[in-house]
Amino acid sequence: MLLTRRTLMQTALTLGAMHAFPGLTWAQARPLVFATFTGSWEEAHKAVLVPAFRKATGNADMVLDPMLSVDQIAKVNAAKTNPPIDVMLHDPGPALQAIAQDLVEPYPVEKSAYYKDLIPEAQVPMGPSPFFQVVGITYNPETVKTPPTSWADLWKPEFKGRVGITNLNSTLGTGFMVELAKMHGGSESNIDPAFKALEALRPSLAAVAANPGQLATLFQQGQIDISPGNFNAIQILKARGVPVEFVIPKEGAIAFKTTIHIVKNSPNKELAFKLIEAALSPEVQAQLMEEPFLIVPTNTKVAIKGELAKTLAKDHAEIAKKFVFQDWAKINEQRSAWIERFNREIRV
């Protein structure tokens, strides 16, 4: 077993609690464990959500454990009766898998002070959505003089050899393929038109990135000029001085609900509920909407302003008009097969 500093601190906290309260089991005594995402998500939650949770609970012990959704699900599946995680964070595809595998609790909506204030798309009984991720078109304004307005612009001849995409392992890559299918008569159940359109795009592709982070690196290195892109990732690039802009295509921005869940059999259900309540609160969402985080709020009590209002939508009513929410239950039915087909057929 690899003992990290974090592991040792967590163990010490747990042993201290068991010494103070001899009736506690090991599981009951350990701090709340919140599995967030890595990178900017971890930074945002460390800076805003964790302090708000500690303030609301009298400084309750908790551990922020960043990892991918697939790893969260694997860890909880490996110890369902004594899960090592109390709160999971998921994109829509993994969230449905976690629910189908009976790994999460229904959210106690009747106890929540904020659930009713969420926009309808964020009111998910098995785990509400405190945040959205938004995908549009990313481009280099120094080389792309006329800002793109449609996903179809990626096929323009002037971008030959300068287009980037991600593979289908990422939510971004799969979401883009579904929109591509819809543009050409397909749907969440019929992806064939998207593969046909990608075949036509192959001469223009400079790279197929393994994930959104690698796509950002390609912009930094000047290897691509235009691609589907995540709004938050673009803001990070801009802050580093990389010439890059984000636009919503006329077909609409792809929006991913990021949901937060109480893990089934968690020994810390009440603290897990309080952490999620903090994430849903207007105070935390208003802070996360500010730079450098620029996370889209879902609580209708939060007035959208700043860079979000300028680039994405001025209020929640406009979000409903401009954002496209895809049917991930349908997508999940065939996603594994799509990934295999993509890896077999789409090479640069």
pLDDT digits (tens, 9 = 90+) for 53-102: 999 999 999 999 998 888 999 999 999 999 999 999 999 999 999 999 99
Q: What percent of the chain has pLDDT over 90?
A: 74
Q: How far apart are CA 134 and CA 216, in angstroms?
A: 15
Same-domain pairing of 143 and 262? no
Same-domain pairing of 146 and 206? yes
Residue 12 pLDDT? 56
Q: What percent of the chain has pLDDT over 70?
A: 92
Residue 165 lies in a domain: yes
Same-domain pairing of 248 and 278? no
Same-domain pairing of 219 and 186? yes
Residue 173 lies in a domain: yes
Residue 218: how many CB atoms within 10 A of its CB?
16
Pairing of strands 87-90, 32-35: parallel
Q: How far apart are CA 128 and CA 259, in angstroms?
A: 5
Same-domain pairing of 71 and 149? no
Domain ranges, residue 263 = 32-131+256-312
With b for 16 or more beta-carbon neighbours within 10 A and e for fewer, the 300-327 pattern comes to bebebeeebeebbbeebeebeebbbebe
Residue 92 pLDDT? 92
Please choose, from the candidates 343, 303, 317, 297, the residue with its C-alpha nearest in 3D space to the C-alpha of residue 174: 343
Residue 323 lies in a domain: no
Residue 320 lies in a domain: no
- Residue 48: DSSP 8-state: I
Same-domain pairing of 161 and 217? yes
Average pLDDT of the chain? Answer: 90
Same-domain pairing of 227 and 338? yes
Q: H-type helices in the chain, by residue range?
A: 5-20, 26-29, 40-44, 50-56, 69-78, 92-100, 171-183, 192-201, 212-220, 231-239, 269-280, 282-289, 306-311, 316-322, 328-345
Residue 19 lies in a domain: no
Q: How far apart are CA 296 and CA 320, in angstroms?
A: 13
pLDDT digits (tens, 9 = 90+) for 299-341: 999 999 998 999 899 998 888 888 999 999 999 999 999 999 9
Residue 319 lies in a domain: no
Could you tell me the CATH number of the domain that includes residue 221? 3.40.190.10
- Residue 141 to residues 147, 155, 162, 222, 247: CA-CA distances in angstroms? 7, 17, 13, 12, 11
Residue 285 lies in a domain: yes
Q: How far apart are CA 74 and CA 78, in angstroms?
A: 6
Same-domain pairing of 276 and 222? no
Average pLDDT of span 45-51? 96
Same-domain pairing of 249 and 337? yes
Residue 113 lies in a domain: yes
pLDDT digits (tens, 9 = 90+) for 31-42: 999 999 887 788
Q: pLDDT confidence of 1, banded at 50, 70, 90?
A: very low
Same-domain pairing of 192 and 332? yes
- Residue 127 to residues 34, 228, 265, 269: CA-CA distances in angstroms? 14, 28, 15, 13
Number of domains present in the structure of the chain: 2
Residue 6 has pLDDT above 70, yes or no: no
Same-domain pairing of 155 and 214? yes
Q: pLDDT confidence of 221, banded at 50, 70, 90?
A: very high
Same-domain pairing of 145 and 290? no
Burial grade of 43 (CB within 10 A; 0-12, 13-18, 19 or more): middle
